[in-house]
Amino acid sequence: MGKLKKSRIIACLIAILAVAAIVVLIINTDFETVDEHASNASNEALESVTDGISVSILINYSTVFDNYENLSDGVKNAGVLRDDGVLLDKTTVVIEKGKSVYDLLEYVCRVNDIAIEYNGSTYVQGIGYLYEYDCGPISGWMYKVNGIFPRDACGDYILEDGDEVEWRYTCDLGRDLGDQYYNMGD
């Protein structure tokens, strides 16, 4: 009888711990409705940054139109692509010092209401409903700073004043964007 009680107590403790963990997770998760998300984004756009750096960013997927036959049915038929492939024209923004390329992307996407998804810390899977592998098996998003492709994750690349960031979609492991890094093995 004593044994039964002990196991019951342990089961109750485990249940309480599980519930507590779920509650902590929910409390630490920031929930917003669609309207709240939009108004928070527009408020953020109005905030001015003092002692910031001025950088520019553009987002472009014009390469998918050169490989349109490889594009996934979902993206083709959803009507989400813009005809010229320009998701965001070159924009100059002032952000705080010490921010990374990823922070910049996240900020402009939130302000301009562009959906993004990232994996792990800062691997960008998709921007504006266009995802990796949507245009062939070696397609995905890459970024350029001042004309060169850095070899860092975008969350590790810290911006400096005057940097020009370009986010471009490749259908060919960067080769169609002029990146020769993956040609070395050939």
Partner 1 sequence: MNRKYAFFDMHPVVSLIYFLCVIVSGMFFRNIVLELISLISAFVYITTIFDRGRVIKTALFCGAVIVLMALTNPLFSHNGVTPLFYMNSMAVTLESVYYGVSSGIMLSAVLVWCAVFSDGFDFEKISYIFGRAFGNISVVISVALRLIKLIRVRSRDLAMVDSANGRTRLKDMLNRFSAIMGWSFEQGIELSHSMKARGYGRGRRSFYNRFRFGASDAAVLTAVVILSGATIWMYAVGDFGFAIYPKVWINITDRTYLGFILYSVLVLIPTAVEIRDSILWKYYRSGI
Min dist CB 131 to partner 1, Å, is: 6
Q: What residues between 115 and 134 interact with partner 1 by CB under 8 A?
A: 115, 117, 126, 129, 131
- Which of 88, 137, 89, 96 has the alpha carbon at shortest distance from 115? 88
Cβ proximity to partner 1, 113 vs 156, nearer residue: 113
Q: Give the distance, in angstroms, between the CA of residue 171 and the centroid of all CA atoms in the same chain.
A: 18
Please list the residues that pair with 53 across neighbouring strands. Answer: 95
Q: Is residue 74 at the binding interface for partner 1, with CB under 8 A as the rule?
A: yes
Q: What residues between 7 and 66 interact with partner 1 by CB under 8 A?
A: 29-34, 36-37
Taking the CA atoms of residue 37, residue 106, residue 103 and residue 135 in that order, the dihedral angle to the nearest 10 degrees is 160
- Which of 38, 34, 31, 41 has the alpha carbon at shortest distance from 108? 41
Q: Is residue 4 at the binding interface for partner 1, with CB under 8 A as the rule?
A: no
Cβ proximity to partner 1, 122 vs 144, nearer residue: 122
Using the rule CB under 8 A, give the single segment among 46-54, 67-75, 154-162, 172-180 that binds partner 1.
67-75
Query: How many residues contact partner 1, by CB under 8 A?
Result: 22
> What's phi and psi for 101, nearest 5 deg?
-60, -40
Cβ proximity to partner 1, 36 vs 156, nearer residue: 36
| Identified binder of partner 1 from the candidate list 56, 62, 67, 72, rule CB under 8 A | 72
- Which of 82, 89, 123 has the alpha carbon at shortest distance from 108? 89
Rama region for 162: left / alpha / beta (φ>0; ψ in -120 to 50; rest)? left
**Residues forming the site for partner 1 (CB under 8 A):** 29-34, 36-37, 72-75, 77-80, 110, 115, 117, 126, 129, 131
